[in-house]
Amino acid sequence: MKRWLWLPAVLTVVMLLLILNSSPAAEPALAVVPHRMIALTFDDGPDPAYTLPILQILRERGLHATFFLIGRNALAYPDIVRQIAREGHLIANHTLTHPQLQDLSEQQVRAELEGFTAVMTSILGPDARLSPYFRPPRGKESTAITQAVDLLKLQTVLWNVCVENHATSAPQDVFARVTQLVEARNGGILLAHDGELDRTLTVRSLPLLLDGLLAKGYRVVPLDEYLDASQAAADY
C-alpha cells in the first residue's frame, strides 16, 4: 500500500477509539423501568424552604423518597437530616460540596464522597443506616468517579424524568409535561430538587403531580424496591 494511503486508515482507527472511549458507561438504574412503578428522588437539599414542605406532602400521602443530600447543606440543617431519616426516607450521597466532580482526580472524588459520609455519621450517629446510592452532580461521569464509586462500594443512580424544566412555569404545565414523560416510559425514577436554587414551583407542583400519577395507578415505591424490581425485570 502506498504510504499516503495509511493516513486515512490510521485516522479512522483513532477516531473509532475516541468514539468508543467517550461513550458513557451503561446506567443500570435506567436500563429497565419496572411496570408502572415510580421512585421519587430529591437532589441538592436540605433547605428548610423546600425540604420541609416536601416532607409534609410525602407524609400526607404515605410516600417515601430518596434524598440525595449535599453534605455542606446537611451540616447547615442537621435537624432536617434527622427528620428525613426519622420519617423513613432514604438518605443518599450527592457529594460534600457539589463541585464539578468530573474535573477532579480519583483522590479528590473520594474526598468528596467520604466527606459526605463523615458528615452524615456526625449528624445521625455511627449506627445510622446510610443507603449505598450516589448521584453525581449534574449527572456527569468520569473514569475517576467510576473508580471512586466502585472502591467505596457505592451505586450510581441517575434518573429517567426531571421535574424541573425551563419550558414550564406553572404547576399545571409541570404536571402535564412530567406525566406525559412518565406515561411514555411507563414509570421511572423522577428527579426533583429541594435546594440550591428557587424550588418554589417544584413544591407547588408536587401535590398535583403525585395525586395525578397515583390516580393513574402508578405505584410510588422506595428506591431500593424500585431497583430490585428493575433488576428482576432485566433478568427475566
**Sites of contact with Zn ion (CB under 5 A):** 43-44, 137
- How long is the chain? 236
Q: Where are the beta strands (DSSP E) in the chain?
A: 37-43, 66-69, 90-93, 133-134, 155-156, 161-162, 187-193, 219-220
- Helices H, strands E: what count in the chain? 10, 8
Rounded least distance, CB 44 to Zn ion, Å: 4
Output 71 or 137, the one with its CB closest to Zn ion.
Answer: 137
Output 119 or 229, the one with its CB closest to Zn ion.
Answer: 119
Output 44 or 47, the one with its CB closest to Zn ion.
Answer: 44
Task: Say whether 64 is catalytic.
Answer: no
Q: Which residues contact 15 (CB under 8 A, 6 or more apart)?
A: none
Task: Say whether 43 is catalytic.
Answer: yes
Rounded least distance, CB 199 to Zn ion, Å: 12
Widest Cα–Cα separation across the chain = 75
Catalytic residue among 35, 43, 94, 127: 43
Catalytic residue among 64, 89, 94, 193: 193
Rounded least distance, CB 139 to Zn ion, Å: 9
Which residues are tagged catalytic?
43, 193
